[in-house]
Amino acid sequence: MNVSDLLSYCMDKPGAEQSVHSDWKATQIKVDDVLFALVHEVDGRPAVALKATPALADLLREAHTDVRPSDHLNKSHWSTVLLDGTLKDSQIYYLVDASLQKALDTRGAH
């Protein structure tokens, strides 16, 4: 998967807004000001940080070397997925959708 395809998929979500986090050199994708995807580079490789339940995050990290705890974010919930790694596009899209759902759930809790 490439960054352009990922950003298009994220921005197709209702209410999605894109901004740049200059300190982290990352593109933030939010819904109602709640982050659900953070697109950036890790060691020169394209990546996206996505939110999941701690159990799913642990499973992903154990099963895939291309999934690791995210820098700058709560490591029990946020995982960084390398886009040029072994995960299939369909798996990445699923994780984006799951992250968006977590953001919507968080929004509803306020």
Cβ-contact 32, 43 below 8 angstroms: no
CATH number of 3-104: 3.90.1150.30
Beta-carbon neighbour count of residue 95 at 10 Å?
21
For 100, residues 6+ apart whose C-beta sits below 8 A from its C-beta are: 13, 31, 36, 37
Cβ-contact 53, 77 below 8 angstroms: yes
pLDDT tens, position by position, 64-109:
999 999 988 999 999 999 999 899 999 999 999 999 999 888 766 5
* Strand residue runs (E) in the chain: 16-21, 26-31, 34-42, 45-51, 67-69, 78-82
pTM: 0.92
